[in-house]
Amino acid sequence: MATVEVTTANFKETVVDNDFVLVDFWASWCGPCRQFAPVYDKASERHPDLVFAKVDTEAQQDLAAQFDIRSIPTLMVIREQVMIYSQPGALPEEALEDLIRQARELDMDKVRAEIAQQPQPQE
């Protein structure tokens, strides 16, 4: 599957309708973003069962702010509507493949149980 452009209008729908979404927060002026783009695109072709989304932080400033994106590229992995990874920096191909493998292997029931045990912030 090719990468899909995600905006404020379709982000929630993309995450809700798909069990496994990778999100690349990028900008056209960002050198490391341009270097990472072909690695990300190749991975999208190798893993057609996953959604590879791209968020242009210049055009989607509200969405970038919502996720507190302070450095680009930032890669986020969302499985079953749970963010399981979010780190800035361009990954080499091998590291991206390893991240995808590890994310696939996660026991999401265990992840949700661990989240449920965490203290909730006081309002």
Min mean pLDDT across 61-65, 98-102, 107-111 is at 107-111
Q: 121 catalytic, yes or no?
A: no
Domains of the chain in sequence order: 4-117 (3.40.30.10)
Tell me what pLDDT residue 3 has.
86
Q: Which of 6, 22, 23, 30 is catalytic?
A: 30
CB atoms within 10 A of CB 112: 13
Q: 81 catalytic, yes or no?
A: no
Mean pLDDT of the chain, nearest integer? 93
12, 66 Cβ separation under 8 angstroms: no
pLDDT at 23 exceeding the cut of 70: yes
Q: Which of 6, 15, 23, 33 is catalytic?
A: 33
E strand or H helix at 18? none
Specify the pTM: 0.90
Q: Average pLDDT in the 24-30 region? A: 96
